[in-house]
Amino acid sequence: MSRSPSSSIEPVLVPQGGRAMCATLWGAVLGQPDLSDAALSAVLAWARWRHLASGDVVFACQQPAEQLFAVLEGCVGLGTLREGQAFHLERSVHGPGWLDLSSAWVGQGHVQDAQAMGSALVLELPLAALRPLFLRYPELQERLLLALAQTVQKLTGATHDLMAKDAQKRLVGWLLQRMSAPAGDVALRERKRELAAQLAITPETLSRLLRQLMASGLIEVQGYSIKLLNLNALRALA
């Protein structure tokens, strides 16, 4: 049986080129077009990167937030860490991408816990050190604004989905969004329980929904790879 998700749980590639490679990844976080080398290296001078093993805590709820967090590589989950029980996942960030841009600005501590799902490379950026740079490199601040705005849009979409769509519509929407070529193949990069968590349903319900869609001939499920057979019908569902 195919086990695609495990590949993202393998030992992370340690950046061989050191700073060079990190800079490349880091550029991906800040978006296109690439920032000037001067701005990039000025920011990198203050950056600190941490290598995390599976399960490591990146930051904890209510802990004072003074840094911007980005995931360079691997995957980090946002949610609630409950002692004695499993981590309750709410959202996950795959590198490269921002993990938490907002908490440091508000300055009132983190609102969620963050835990590495598998090995990950995380970058921390002290906001206090960054502020002076904004005057010299205004593009930098604009990138952060854009990233925050995108986060707002994504969250708005998420709340809308939760309020207006049922589980099936959310699942189909997720599949369509993640579909690669027009062919319509989806290779799951995560465990099904994590997918379920992102859709705010239980693993049991996810299993039933997939079976149901398969019975309707709309998709074909084989382990961690899903084929979308009838795109039009799926779009009509979502």
Q: Which residues would be at the binding site for DNA (CB under 7 A)? A: 1, 3, 5, 166-168, 191-193, 200-208, 210-211, 221
Q: Which pair of tokens denotes residue 26?
A: 């880091």
DSSP at 36: P
| Spatial distance between the Cα atoms of 8 and 145, rounded to a whole number of angstroms | 30
Q: Is 60 in the site for a second copy (CB under 8 A)?
A: no
What are residue 57's phi and psi, to 5 degrees? -90, 125
Q: Is 38 in the site for a second copy (CB under 8 A)?
A: no
- Site residues for a second copy, 182-221, by CB under 8 A, read 200
Q: Which pair of tokens denotes residue 100?
A: 């938490």
Q: Which residue has the tokens 């799951």?
A: 188
* Least Cβ distance, residue 21 to a second copy (angstroms): 29
| Spatial distance between the Cα atoms of 158 and 182, rounded to a whole number of angstroms | 24
Q: Which does 216 bind (CB under 5 to 8 A by kind): a second copy, DNA, none?
A: none
Q: Which does 207 bind (CB under 5 to 8 A by kind): DNA, a second copy, none?
A: DNA
Of residues 2, 152, 185, 235, which one binds a second copy by CB under 8 A? 152
Q: Is 156 in the site for a second copy (CB under 8 A)?
A: yes
3-state secondary structure 115-153: EEEEEEEEEEEEHHHHHHHHHHCHHHHHHHHHHHHHHHH
Q: Which does 217 bind (CB under 5 to 8 A by kind): DNA, a second copy, none?
A: none
Q: Are 237 and 15 a contacting pair, CB within 8 Å?
A: no
First and final CA of the chain: distance in angstroms? 29
Cis geometry, peptide bond prior to residue 33 (ω within 30 degrees of 0) = yes
Considering beta carbons, is residue 5 or 74 the nearer one to DNA? 5
Please name every residue paired with 51 in a beta bridge, in sequence order, or none if there are none: 121
DSSP at 5: G
Q: Which pair of tokens denotes residue 141?
A: 């601040």
Q: Is 169 in the site for a second copy (CB under 8 A)?
A: no
Considering beta carbons, is residue 143 or 227 the nearer one to a second copy? 143
Considering beta carbons, is residue 5 or 15 the nearer one to DNA? 5
Q: Which does 205 bind (CB under 5 to 8 A by kind): a second copy, DNA, none?
A: DNA
Region from 3-11, 18-26, 151-159, 218-226 binding a second copy, contact rule CB under 8 A: 151-159
Tell me which residues touch a second copy (CB under 8 A): 80, 88, 90-91, 101-106, 111-112, 134-135, 138, 141-142, 144-146, 148-153, 155-160, 162-164, 200
